[in-house]
Amino acid sequence: MKRKIFALAILTFVYSGLKSQNRSNTSFIYSKDGKAVLNKWNLRKICLKSLNKDASDTEALSICDCQISKLNERFTSKEYKKFTKGLVVDLKGLIDLDSSFKNEFESCFKSTGRSQLLSVEADAEGSLEACIINTKNSTNKSIDSAKVRNFCACQLELIKNRKLTDKELESLSDPNSLLFLETMYKCGSPFDATSYVRGWNPGLEKDITGPPSDTINVLNMDGMTFVKIKMGSLVRFWLFDTGASDMLITKEMEEVLQSEKVMTSQNFTGIKEYEMANGIVDSCRTYLINGVKIGKFSVDNITVAVSDKAKRIIVGKSLINKFNRWAIINERNTLILTK
């Protein structure tokens, strides 16, 4: 998330002609060559305004004073003049002269431990646009423009309402963290509808041919559940994994299904990245296929991923989510599927 520091948009008075042989006057910022160029009081006032705070907010005041102190004797009067028009100076231009100084300047924010919260409070629209850009740049998945805007707006509102610290926000990068799951639950997904597995909805019933309900025998081995599924001519026992998004098959199975015209260039849907159970991200070829047989059902519009590295085949939510209800009965080793 982009941090708004007051220097990025600040305009203030410059006393470009005032020379001083004595830098003991603490009301001014001085250039390297001894000229009083900026009024600290004016800088502090504009800094606080940019943060949407006043002098009663001691944290905001400390940020502003920290940033102001880092300006003192940092640039020459010639450099100030270069970025001055009339009686105003563009501090963004000055800061961009020196990347190390820019980092020092922003460190005044980071030291609070609430830099992202302060950014949201200071510049909601800028933070929103930065979140949208960061989300788009962080993934190869297809992004829905409306969804990503709503997702970011919801996420930023959560930061504001919960007063989240930078440390707490670090857990958003962990898909197992409570904050990540809470954010996804409240804010939804920024991805295009074809990029993630939807929950059940009544329209999915049209993809299922078969009785209202069926009870299917399953195998339980070493704490894992396997269910028999037919795809093309291939009848296999698949690992039943509700944590997986789509069905996963091996390259060898792909070759058989291609020879049977079950998988063709017409139903090839591209390359998609999947995170495997061991944490490795694998790029898989994906197909949208029809006629997957499970019990007495035939199911259409199922996403199947092919991994060149896969040793075990998996059935995930792209198939299970087609059904209104499902249940594993451990006592009887059965899977009940209901349309």
> Judging by beta carbons within 10 Å of its beta carbon (0-12, 13-18, 19+), is residue 120 exposed, middle or buried?
buried
Q: What is the CATH number of the domain that holds 211?
A: 2.40.70.10
Q: Domain for residue 261, yes or no?
A: yes
Global pTM reads: 0.51
Between helix 115-122 and helix 124-137 the angle, nearest 10°, is 120
Looking at the fold, whether 209 and 143 belong to one and the same domain comes out as no
pLDDT value at position 282? 76
Looking at the fold, whether 44 and 95 belong to one and the same domain comes out as yes
Looking at the fold, whether 208 and 309 belong to one and the same domain comes out as yes
Looking at the fold, whether 226 and 312 belong to one and the same domain comes out as yes
**318 close to 309: Cβ distance less than 8 angstroms:** no
Q: Which domain holds residue 179?
A: 124-195
Q: What is the mean pLDDT of each run of 10 residues along the chain (339 residues)?
A: 38 40 70 86 85 88 89 86 72 79 84 87 88 81 80 91 90 76 79 53 86 94 89 93 86 94 91 70 87 96 89 87 91 93
Give every CB contact of residue 24 below 8 A, 6+ residues apart in sequence: none
Looking at the fold, whether 181 and 207 belong to one and the same domain comes out as no
Q: Domain for residue 312, yes or no?
A: yes
> For the chain, first and last CA: distance in Å?
43
pLDDT value at position 90? 76
Q: Of 77, 112, 147, which residue sits at a domain end?
A: 112
Q: What are phi and psi of 143, to 5 degrees?
A: -100, 130
Q: Of 112, 133, 162, which residue sits at a domain end?
A: 112
pLDDT value at position 192? 54
Looking at the fold, whether 191 and 97 belong to one and the same domain comes out as no
**6 close to 46: Cβ distance less than 8 angstroms:** yes
Q: Of 60, 92, 112, which residue sits at a domain end?
A: 112
pLDDT value at position 79? 86
Query: CA 96, 102, 103: angle at the middle one, nearest 5?
Result: 150
The tally of domains found in the chain comes to: 3
